[in-house]
Chains A and B, each alone.
Chain A
Amino acid sequence: MAELEIINVSKTFGQSKVIDNVSLTVGAKEFVVFLGPSGCGKSTLLRMIAGLETVDEGEIRIGGKRVDALPPGERGVAMVFQHYALYPHMTVRENMSFGLRNVKIAPAEIDRRVAAAAKMLEIEHLLQRKPAQISGGQRQRVAIGRAIVKEPHLFLFDEPLSNLDAALRVRTRLEIAQLHQRVDAAMIFVTHDQIEAMTLAHRIVVMNNQRIEQIGTPMEVYSRPATAFVAGFVGTPCMNFAPVEITGASPFVTLRLPDGSMLETRVDRKALPEGGRFKLGVRAESVRPCATGEGNCSGTVKFVERLGDRTLVYVLLSDGTTIVAEDAGMSRIAIADAVGLRFDSAGVHLFDDVRGYHAAEGA
């Protein structure tokens, strides 16, 4: 049974719509990540699930029970906030047990749950301290512990890693993944960080402009983005885009790049709608630098990023278009070199140039 069902939900603040007819189902024990840029509506949607924002239209069900009219505490969810939201005048133990005391759980049971969660999160030695006496990372663990002790059906994480430094962020990310394996609950995690989304999620919900752009597994979202927005938002570096003309006859199309060079693809002509305008989308790993004249097109290197295991080469085509290509970690390419670019036809995507949806891809 689905743990969470969001059915045609909309939300308006004043005159502006912040959630526009969103529907989504999250399975039991599933880990779903809401991914999108600031202002896309992902946190609002999470807060609507938690009961911290009202639902203007549609309905929300948790465990089969309609909850959108229930107060937050009665929805069977626990939430971890971006800024921890711990109670500063209470000790760690009191922070974790506050919610349980409010629903009159027996003291012995509260002690058991707090002890178990503290052990799991390795914060047993902090139980008598107050939030001001512990570090940021420890506070985040306490916030997670406060959620765990409630034994909810659904965990909600609102950008919980964004206040942590880089090293701690990686470590906490791993711990959240491990936590999900241990607890019997679904999790929804809001982030604008695609790496967090890719590494944690069973499914990613990519949001933009108050709507869901795509729902899919991390690899589906990465390798077959439903829209140009998803293609551009997911993946580092961002996918290369360039307007193209369709010139080839069936069965496969040939593309004319902005600099006039031709790119033969494995995109089936029949897969493309007639009369449309398209833009090419291709990730850096599907474009390799080569000697001038050997590839599909050529240009001048304007920037090189050496990342250790690979090198990103920013190549300026004659028309001013920049294409990012990927080379080996030990690449000898330097700025101002003239290079050719060889496209992997399997990695070529075509997007509708007007509406942005994914039209076709290379076989």
Chain B
Amino acid sequence: MGDIWDILPGLGDKLAAHVVLSASAIGLAIIIALPLAVWASRSATVSRIALALASLVQTIPALALLALFFPLLLSLRAVFGEGLPTLGFLPALLALTLYALLPILRNAVTAQANLDPGVLEAADGVGMTKWQKLRLVEAPLSAPFVMAGIRTASVWTIGAATLATTIGQPSLGDPIFAGLQTQNWALVLAGCLASAGLALAADNLLWVIEVGLARRRRWMSLGGVAIVALGILAALWAGRAEEGERPIVIASKQFSEQYILAKLIGARLQAAGYRVEYRDGLGSAVVHSAVANSSIDISVDYTGTIWTNYLKRDDNPGREAMYETIRAWEARENGVKVLGRLGFENAYAFAMRADRAKELGVTSLADLAAVAPRLTVGGDPEFFERPEWIAVKAAYGLDFASKRNFAPTFMYNALQSGEADVISAYTSDGRIAADRLVVLEDPKGALPSYDAMIMLSPRIAGDAGVIAALKPLVGAISVEAMREANLAVDREDAQKMTPKQAAQMLAAKAGL
């Protein structure tokens, strides 16, 4: 865990992005909440509706709220045109702003409601206009309470901003999500420490402003404001490097193989003189659309995923036909160039512990059907909704005693501990070899293929330099080499590697 101190200094740009995102969200929330609170203090109906809506937003998990803005913004493109960003800063800002509204709004409304009626009568009695009353009496008397609300909102927002990673906005969530997927706990801790530290710092600074307001110590409030402003300016300064030519943005979904391949692709582009940027830990559903609209330039996707999720097909024409159909479809519908297949599949397969398979006499899915009513099957959270499962179930008449969902990382542990007898494994997973699992045969060919493909966004689809740099990867990666690299990242012992190291090993194995 000593690595944390090596990791933290490298998080500067993530911290800057995190600060800019959080500060913008809180700022926007203040701009919306304060006038709304004033309006609410003049109308009980507005007060009820505003507070009810803000509370309702709070009941939506932050992760879901962030994810919901992707389809929402996508549909708004009909109004605002194709230039409307659907990933990254904008949706993260909007979701976090909604999230920050409630504490600010509630405190401001409560503060207004609790103002001494005698003081308000005096304000009218000395002849203040509504605006003078607000500016000279209501605002200064409510300020400490409003500030307390802003403090709460800030701590929430800084915490929730780590989730912006999943919609392609860099933040301190990047190391957390990358660390969780690759079981690199030092990385997770470093991200958590940095975001907790930031939240504490913000909380304390805002507390100084709040106390300054409550005790009418102007220098305290102004000093606090000045330090907050300096911090935000510093973050803006650090994040300003985005000028000039946009770097090539490489996406990875939330599992080790994706992190490794992103680094492999990135290293080759850097060697060819390109500037690259990584968007790690994206939600799977987000990646495909992001490449199609060029907010991300390169991803590695799988034939089976595209086939069912985007072509909406549930037939199985065979491996080659499927690939060619997808290639033509992507070019025609999205302008996305499928550069080629890497050479391995990350297909769904059913795996069992060798001893258990032997004991039950199971070598194929057909054998499994006979004993399934006595067994528990484990799958990743989406598996039991996928057409593969439905197809396999129908083809072999599988009927299990029970079904359980596990995060991919923990599925193998469940198999080892006996919580599941058979799991939906991935064929490129390093743990199949490491745990000496038996992959069950599929004599009826019910499981579709999942060839890994390099996808290029319309923006770089015609870039000869990029194509030349990445072409050697096509057909170069065997499933054994990929399993080995995945295992190197997933393992917990001294031989554990970072995705970058594993990518170097993979490149060497592939003779690149």
Say whether A associates with B: no
Chain B residues packing against A (C-beta within 8 Å)? none
Chain A residues packing against B (C-beta within 8 Å)? none
